[in-house]
Every structure is written in structure tokens, then in C-alpha cells.
Amino acid sequence: MADDWTTSINTSVPNPARIYDYFLGGKDNFPADRDVAEQLLAIAPVAREVVEDNRAFLRRAVRVLTREAEIRQFIDLGSGLPTQGNVHEIAQAVAPDARVVYVDNDAMVVTHSRALLAGDNTVAIQADLREPDVILGHPEVRELIDFDQPVALLCMAILHFIPDDQNPFAIVARFRDALRAGSYLAISHGTRDVPVRSDMSEAEMAEMGARVERLYQLTTASLVTRTRAQVERFFDGFELLDPGVVEIQRWRPEDWSSMPGGFYGGVGRKRPAGSLRA
């Protein structure tokens, strides 16, 4: 409604959430989205698998956070269109009392999330992750999330839509500072680093990455890939769980058949205040 960040939707402009929906076999995409998605596949034929791998990484990360870290509160930034295996479904399968806030800046995404995901222990809010204080102070967030308890912040395939001049590292640090020690951060992020098992040269990967980035300039959000070191920088103040920041297919895999590459992923635990930075 009118108090939201933006109320407009335009299905004729390609939109990353709907492109992602197309790759996952969803039906909530429009010709403009499919057009860009097909061009992406022409440049990077593995794009569809990488998107599926990203969902699988999300699933494993949320399970580890719920089971091993006993996290019961999640904030999913840039949650995207509802699909199979949404965060609250994964978490509540382990811990029925798990609470989830879905955050997205896209009106269509939030409308779908409110209609299809919201329940007793989930809310969906429309906000932009570039405004951490708006999210952290949002009444619906404050009602559901107890910031005196640990929280897991999920940034899945979203930080690569924040270019450096919009201070992505400062944004993540702001969220970190609002969370108590023992909270978690999980990230997946597009990269043009050469995959560990690949016959592609650095120049070929760089060229592919550049073409993907150019294509995303046609959409409502431009894309910026980052190196492993840059993705690690987001975890400043966090202790990385094993195996660190790695290709998402290699983060505690359940099967080893997926070809690595495309996205980095990692999960970190916030250090107690006053502890030395690594």
C-alpha cells in the first residue's frame, strides 16, 4: 500500500526476481524476463544449474543454522518470489517455532510473499537492504524478532546487486552491529573467478562475467561479480564456519555431482564484542 517503499510494478522491464523464477521453472515470469534469461543462458549455459545450486546452498545453510547453531530467527534479505523450499519451510521442518522475516524491495515479490508465505511465524516486508535502519527498526520486524537473541541474516544472491559505490560492506557491517554475538551471516554471491575444476581461462571467465554484467544492466538491478577475497570481506567481525568461503557447490555438499563455480558462499558466526579481528 501507499506507505510502502514503492508501489509500482512493471512486467515489461526485466526483473532479477522473475528471471530467477524462470530458471527455477516457475510460472511468474514475463516475456521481458525470459528474453534476458535466454540471453544469459546463451552466454553462460550453466546459469540455470548455478541458480538451482544456489537454492540447494540456501537449503543446506538454513538446515545447519537451525540444527547445529540452533538459530530460531531468520531475516532473509532479497528473498525473491516464493518457490519450493522457502526459508521458513526449511527451518520449521527442523524447528517448528522458527521465525522468518522476508525482505524485498520489489512490490510484486512482497505481494506474493504476503499472500503465499505469511503465517503465524513469518512476515514479509517491503524494504531496501541499502537502508538497514529502516529494516532493523521496522515495526513488523521488531514484533517478530527478538534482537536480544541470536539472529541469522541471509544474503542469498543479493549483495551482487549492490555496487561498491553504494557501500555494500558498510551496509552488512551495520546489520552486524545490530545483531548480538552468536548471530550468523550467510552469503552467496556471483563471481567471475575461475572455478576450481574448469578448463576455462581467466580471460574467458572475465569475458563471460563482463557480458553477464552488461546484460543485467537491462534489468531493474545491475549486477557486480566479486572475487573470493571481496566476498570474505563481508564476514568482517564473523568467524567463518568450515569450509569458509568456497564455491557454493562445495559448501558442505550433500552430493558431489554439481560442477563448482559461478557463486561463492559462506556462513559466519558473529564474534563476541571486544574480540580481536581475524
Q: Per-residue x/- marks for another protein, 89-128, CB under 8 A?
A: ------------------xx--xx-xxx-xx---------
Asked if 189 and 157 count as a contact pair (C-beta separation under 8 A), the reply is yes
Which CB, 30 or 147, lies closer to another protein? 30
- Nearest distance from residue 93's CB to another protein, in Å? 16
The whole-angstrom separation of Cα 69 and Cα 96 is: 15
Asked if 145 and 75 count as a contact pair (C-beta separation under 8 A), the reply is yes
Which of these segments, 20-28, 36-44, 63-71, 131-139, binds another protein (CB under 8 A)? 20-28
Q: Which residues of 34-72 are buried (b: 16+ CB within 10 A; e: fewer)?
A: eebbebbeeebeebbbbbebbbbbbbbbbbbbbeebebb
- Nearest distance from residue 58's CB to another protein, in Å? 21
The torsion angle over the Cα atoms of residues 86, 256, 156 and 161, rounded to 10 degrees, is -140
Which CB, 125 or 267, lies closer to another protein? 125
Number of residues engaging another protein in binding (CB under 8 A): 18
Residue type at 38? Answer: E
Residues 29-68 interacting with another protein (rule: CB under 8 A): 30-31
Angle, alpha carbons 251-224-58 (nearest 5°): 30
Which CB, 113 or 188, lies closer to another protein? 113
Any contact of residue 5 with another protein (CB under 8 A)? no
- Nearest distance from residue 171's CB to another protein, in Å? 26
Which CB, 108 or 173, lies closer to another protein? 108
Residue type at 270? Answer: K
- List residues near another protein by CB under 8 A: 1, 7, 9, 11, 25, 27-28, 30-31, 107-108, 111-112, 114-116, 118-119
